Amino acid sequence: MAKPSLTNRDFKLPMSSDTDRKKPLMVAILIGTLSLLLAVFYFKSATSTITIDTSSNTPEAPQIVSISLPGKSSDAVYNSAISNKKSGVIIKKTDKDDPTKVTPQAIPDAIWSEYTIKRGDNLAKIFQQLKFSPSTLHSITQSGDKAKMLEHIKPGQTLRFSKNSNGECIALEYDIDKIKTLQVQATPNGFVASINEKPVKISHDIASGVINNSLFYDAKQSGLSDKTIMELANIFGWDIDFAQGLRPGDTFALLFESKHIEGKRIENGHILAAEFINRGDKYQAVRFVGNDGNAEYFSPDGKSMRKTFLRNPIDFARISSHFNLRRKHPVLNRIRAHKGVDYAASSGTPIKTTGDGRVTFAGVKGGYGRVVIVQHGQKYSSLYAHMSKYGRYKKGSYVKQGQVVGYVGKSGLATGPHLHYEFRVNGVHRNPLTTKFPAAKPINKNLFAEFKQQTTPLLSQLEQVRPTQLALNHQ
C-alpha cells in the first residue's frame, strides 16, 4: 500500500512578487550612488592637491576674519573711520597681547574743519548746525571728566572737527588755552577724551619804566601785559597806594618769566624779583617757593611783603572823598563826619575784602544801603557800603584777603556809584590810608639759608639790569 504523501495537496509554490523583482534594482542604484560620491571626493581632493602644488610647496595658514555688528553709534562711527582713509584717523595698536587696547593717532594729512563759537552757542546747537547725530554728541560728552570742559566754551574760541565719509564726527579738538588742548577721538569702545600739553620753554625777561602818568599806562608802554601789571601792583600794594600815592619820576624794574612754544612767545609767567621806588623810598621783593610748593613774596631780608590788610579794596580806583571828621555831607548838606574813604568806580566793579575774617553782617543798613561787615579777629573790622549787589559770601562765612564780597553801586544815600570803605581798630574808626598794618610772618629761620640760595641770583640779575634799563628810559 502506498504511503500517503506528506505534502499538503493544497501547498503551492509562492509566486514571485514585485518587491522581489525590485530588490536587484535598488542594490544597483545604491552601488551607483556610492561610486558617484567616491568619484566626486576623489576629483575634489585631486583638484586641491594640484592647486597647492602649483602655488607653493608649503600650505598657507587659514585666515579667519571676524565681523562684529556695532552695538552703539560710536562703534559704527569707529568702524566707518577705519574703512575710510580720508577720515583723518587711523588706529594704532598699543598692546600685542591685548588687541582691544588701541589709541587714536592723527595722520599728517588729516582733514579738519573749524567752527568759531558765536554768542549763544552751545555744543548741542553746534552739532545740530553741523548735522552731526545726537548719539555722537552724547558719546562725546560722556567720554570722561575731561570732556566736561566743553560745557565752558566761549564766543570767539574755535572747535576743530574731523568726520568720516558718512558725515559722522570722529574727532574733536578744543584749545583750552595756549598750552592745553582737549582731544576727543573715536576708539572701538567709544570716544576717549585726553589733554595734550604743548612743551613750554621758560626764559627770564626784564622790564623797567618811569612813572609819568599812572602805573597801568606807563607799564603798558614798557611792554608789560595786564596780568603782569596787576601782579606787580599786588606785590607792592600793601606798601604803596597806586591810586593816590604815585609821583612823577617814580621808577619800577622787574625780572619775570617768559613762556615760549615752538620759539613763539605766548605769555608772561610769574614775577621773580621786582623793585619800586616811590617818593624816594625803595621797595624790593623776591619770589620764594617753599618745600610745600607754595610761593610767596618777601623782602631781601626775609620779611613778608604781604600785610594783614590790603591798602585799597578796589584796584586802581580814584578816591572821591577822604577820611574827614569835618566833611559836609553831599546829600544831607550839613557837617557830618566822614569816617571812611570813598572810591569812585563804575557800577559792578568788584569789591575785595582787605583781610582774612568772618562776615558778621550782610544786608541793608540805613543810609549805607547794602552793606557787608567783616570782623578780622578780635581787634579789627572793615565795612563796605552802597553796594549794588552782594558777593557769594553770606553772614557767618569765612573770607580770605582779596576775595570779592560785593560790587560797587549807589544804594542808600549816594549821589552816584561808589564804594564807602571804613576800617575800625577796637571799634574806633581809623583812616585806612594812613594806618600802620601789621606784617605777615617772616621767612622761617630754618628755611632762611635755602631762601638766600634761591633768591640771591634773582636779585643779582635785577641789580645788573636796573641801572642800564632806567637810563635808557630816561633818554
Residue position matching grid coordinates 619775570: 256
Residue 321 has pLDDT above 80, yes or no: yes
- Whole-number pLDDT of residue 178: 87
- Whole-number pLDDT of residue 469: 52
Residue position matching grid coordinates 548746525: 129
Instruction: Output 95 or 313, whichever has higher pLDDT.
Output: 313
Please report, rounded to a whole number, the percentage of residues in the chain having pLDDT higher than 70: 73
- Whole-number pLDDT of residue 192: 92
- Whole-number pLDDT of residue 464: 77
Pick from 29-33, 90-94, 235-239 the range whose average pLDDT is largest: 235-239
Instruction: Output 31 or 265, whichever has higher pLDDT.
Output: 265
CA torsion 354→359→364→368, rounded to 10°? -30
Residue position matching grid coordinates 542604484: 29
Mean pLDDT value of segment 312-319? 85
How confident is the prediction for the chain on average, in pLDDT? 79
What DSSP designation does 448 have? H
- This prediction has a pTM of 0.61
- pLDDT tens-digit series, residues 38-66: 665 555 554 444 443 433 444 444 444 44
pLDDT band at 448 (very low <50, low <70, confident <90, very high): very high
- Given its phi and psi angles, is residue 377 left (phi above 0), alpha (psi -120 to 50 degrees) or beta? left
Mean pLDDT value of segment 202-214? 92
Cα distance between the two ends of the chain: 175
- Whole-number pLDDT of residue 61: 43
Please report, rounded to a whole number, the percentage of residues in the chain having pLDDT higher than 90: 48
| Rounded distance between C-alpha atoms, residue 181 and residue 195, angstroms | 6
- pLDDT tens-digit series, residues 128-181: 999 899 999 999 988 888 988 898 899 999 999 998 888 888 999 999 888 899
**E strand intervals along 322-356:** 341-344, 350-352
Phi, psi at 168, each rounded to 5° = -90, 145
| Rounded distance between C-alpha atoms, residue 278 and residue 374, angstroms | 31
- Whole-number pLDDT of residue 22: 53
Q: Which of helix, strand or coil describes residue 240?
A: coil
CA torsion 18→23→24→30, rounded to 10°? 140
- pLDDT tens-digit series, residues 322-364: 876 655 555 555 555 778 899 999 999 999 999 999 999 999 9
